[in-house]
């Protein structure tokens, strides 16, 4: 068990055959402690445990650094016949998961039993102590919060101006390219090594100028159009900044990021 730097990580086998590893995350994950998550995943690979289920019931927050570790490792597990599954996401974690469209890469399940069955296993939850299923599934969350309705993420907003929806052929192509890149094995052997001493505490995004916030979003998600950038800016990580459509368009033009091609080129240069 790991319990330090604001994060708690517990691991145990979910089945009697020792094929499925349950990883329970608690607290929060950010750039300062994400190396502990990476270390846990490396341990699983070293022990040849390729079927992982992450129970996020007690996870309060996970930054893009944490999501990046999971997405960056998914290819290694799938190449070995395994996978990474998610269960019990709370509303705040689930909101980011949906907002950033990670459901294209990482699959979430309403219960541990459902996740285990996706691996071809039936697990008797009564035999496992200390584990609960909150069943905060996508259906329940979206039912309580209409702003998280699936159509909001899969279709352009109703008030989008012409040409800025997600349905354009070029933007869909960029999305597909980005998905491939996120699951590509890096040259260093398929993982990113996080060394605590090398991690510098970057200034919080919410205190950065608007131009830097926009560049940060484009650097992470070059396939985002103006409406998605606008929605991202309103997230707490960026200080809940409310900026109008035309202001963002003007800023993108000033930063020479006003076309999908330019944004993707910038992403490649980061």
Stronger pLDDT, 269 or 251, i.e. the higher one: 251
The answer as to whether 182 is a domain residue is no
The answer as to whether 14 is a domain residue is yes
Same-domain pairing of 12 and 146: yes
Say how far apart CA 164 and CA 227 lie, in whole Å.
Answer: 7
The neighbouring-strand residues paired with 24 are 10, 55
Same-domain pairing of 6 and 96: yes
**Per-residue model confidence as pLDDT tens digits over 72-107:** 899 999 999 999 999 998 888 888 888 888 888 899
Q: Cβ atoms within 10 A of the Cβ of 182, count? A: 16
Same-domain pairing of 149 and 50: yes
Same-domain pairing of 245 and 146: no
Number of separate domains in the chain: 2
Domain assignment of residue 252, given as a range:
195-269
Within a 13 Å sphere around the CA of 230, how many CA atoms are in the beta-carbon half?
17
The answer as to whether 71 is a domain residue is yes
Q: Cβ atoms within 10 A of the Cβ of 217, count? A: 24
The answer as to whether 183 is a domain residue is no
* pLDDT tier at 268, thresholds 50, 70, 90: confident
Sheet holding 7-13, edge to edge: 2-4, 7-13, 20-29, 51-62, 83-87, 107-109
The answer as to whether 259 is a domain residue is yes
84-98, 157-171, 194-208: least confidently modelled range: 157-171
Say how far apart CA 138 and CA 103 lie, in whole Å.
Answer: 11
* pLDDT tier at 125, thresholds 50, 70, 90: low
Same-domain pairing of 14 and 137: yes
**Per-residue model confidence as pLDDT tens digits over 16-59:** 777 899 999 999 998 888 999 999 999 999 989 999 999 999 99
Same-domain pairing of 220 and 134: no
The neighbouring-strand residues paired with 21 are 13, 52
Q: Cβ atoms within 10 A of the Cβ of 221, count? A: 19
Pairing of strands 20-29, 7-13: antiparallel
Give the model's pLDDT for residue 23.
95
Across all residues in the chain, what is the average pLDDT? Answer: 74
The answer as to whether 186 is a domain residue is no
Where among 154, 177, 204 does a domain terminate?
154
% of the chain exceeding 90 in pLDDT? 26
Give the model's pLDDT for residue 124.
62
Q: Which of 51, 42, 34, 36 is nearest to 3 (CA)?
A: 36
Q: Which residue has the tokens 């963002």?
A: 248
The answer as to whether 119 is a domain residue is yes
The answer as to whether 93 is a domain residue is yes
């Amino acid at each position: 068990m790991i319990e330090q730097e604001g994060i708690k990580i517990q691991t145990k086998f979910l089945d009697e055959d020792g094929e499925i590893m349950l990883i329970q995350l608690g607290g929060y994950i950010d750039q300062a402690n994400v190396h502990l998550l990476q270390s846990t995943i490396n341990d699983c690979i070293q022990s040849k445990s390729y079927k992982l289920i992450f129970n996020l019931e007690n996870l309060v927050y996970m930054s893009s650094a944490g999501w990046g570790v999971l997405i960056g490792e998914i290819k290694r597990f799938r190449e070995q016949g395994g996978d990474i599954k998610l269960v019990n996401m709370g509303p705040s974690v689930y909101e980011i998961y949906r907002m950033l469209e990670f459901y294209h890469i990482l699959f979430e399940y309403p219960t541990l039993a459902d996740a285990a069955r996706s691996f071809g296993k039936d697990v008797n939850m009564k035999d496992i102590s200390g584990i609960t299923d909150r069943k905060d599934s996508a259906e329940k969350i979206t039912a309580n919060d209409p702003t998280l309705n699936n159509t909001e993420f899969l279709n352009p907003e109703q008030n989008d101006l012409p040409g800025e929806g997600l349905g354009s052929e070029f933007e869909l192509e960029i999305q597909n390219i980005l998905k491939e890149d996120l699951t590509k094995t890096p040259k260093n052997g398929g993982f990113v090594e996080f060394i605590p001493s090398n991690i510098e505490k970057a200034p919080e995004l919410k205190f950065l100028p608007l131009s830097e916030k926009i560049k940060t979003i484009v650097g992470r998600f070059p396939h985002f159009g103006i409406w998605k950038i606008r929605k991202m800016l309103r997230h707490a990580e960026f200080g809940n900044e409310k900026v109008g459509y035309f202001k963002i368009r003007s800023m993108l033009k000033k930063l020479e990021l006003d076309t999908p091609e330019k944004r993707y080129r910038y992403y490649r240069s980061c």
